[in-house]
Amino acid sequence: MTEQLRPMPTDWRRALAVVAHPDDLEYGCAAAVAAWTDGGREVAYLLATRGEAGIDTLEPERCAPLREQEQRASAAVVGVSRVEFLDHRDGVIEYGLDLRRDIAAAIRRHRPELLVTLNHRDTWGGVAWNTPDHRAVGRATLDAAADAGNRWIFPELTEQGLAPWSGVRWVAVAGSATPTHAVDATVGLERSVRSLLAHRTYLEVLTDQDPEEYCRTFLTGHVEASAERFGGRPAVTFELFAR
């Protein structure tokens, strides 16, 4: 029998999802977010960029406000009203102290028990190469979970009034080729389709398919692919790093 994924922990109140680009969470995670907010949990989004390099035919300065607006609409569909942007440059995010400090600062502001991020590894599995932005933000988020709790690593944050927060208990990595846990996607699936669909400008450039059909086909296939490892239920999968 295929090894089964365990249910994600539910004994928490606040989550912060940290990703590189608008649409990173909508390509697979939003159904889980919908289930969490349905259960009365608070989820906030932190995006390292505004995705301004994502559309070939649109200059970054025109693209950024548009994608920011679409991201906020997309978050609202799954019950997320707090969406913040760090203003790193799309496509050339550097892993390093600046990124770790920015994420640690956000963790101290939001005080989450659960962090969510996107695949930090070189590939999506096999030979499907990941992007440098995803790798940088994923790794920095895993690191910042500890940075946020140590007053001596970024003392300038304490001087800015951000007290250390060592309450992060897990970092859940979405899009991992080696998942360990899952959330049942049944209830949130339809909203996850509408959440991805909110990235209308991006999708219209990406595909000639009807946007709604594209979103539904992609997301349904995605959650059904993991069902055999989650008791037959469609699943949003995570690799969970406990702390």
Q: How far is the CB of 32 from Zn ion (least distance, A)?
A: 17
Nearest C-alpha neighbor of 225 from the set 239, 240, 210, 237? 237
Residue least distant from Zn ion (Cβ): 21
Site residues for Zn ion, window 9-28 (CB under 5 A)? 20-21, 24
Applying the rule CB under 5 A, the residues between 24 and 83 that interact with Zn ion are 24
Closer to Zn ion by CB, 50 or 100: give it: 50
Q: How many residues bind Zn ion (CB under 5 A)?
A: 3
Cα Dmax for the chain:
54
CB of residue 158 to Zn ion, shortest distance in Å: 32
As measured in angstroms, the least distance from the Cβ of 51 to Zn ion is 8
Cβ of residue 133: shortest distance to Zn ion, in angstroms? 6
Counting contacts by CB under 5 A, is residue 120 touching Zn ion? no
Question: Residue 216's closest CA among 237, 182, 189?
Answer: 189
Backbone CA torsion sign across 11, 180, 242, 15 = negative
CB of 227 to Zn ion, least distance (A): 25
Q: What burial letters (b/e) apply to 160-195, b meaning 16+ CB within 10 Å?
A: eebebbebbebbbbbbbeebbbbbbbeebbebbbbb
Give whichever of 26 and 113 is closer to Zn ion, judged by the CB atom.
26
Nearest distance from C-beta of residue 124 to Zn ion, angstroms? 12
Identify which of residues 84 and 190 has a Cβ nearer to Zn ion in the complex: 84
Residue with tokens 């608008």: 22
Nearer to Zn ion, 21 or 191 (CB): 21
Q: Which of 120, 116, 118, 125 is nearest to 135 (CA)?
A: 120
Tokens representing residue 129 in the block: 């190469």
Could you say which residues in the range 159-188 bind Zn ion, by CB under 5 A? none
Cα 113-90-49 angle, rounded to 5 deg: 35
- Whose Cβ is closer to Zn ion: residue 20's or residue 183's? 20
Q: List contacts with Zn ion (CB under 5 A).
A: 20-21, 24
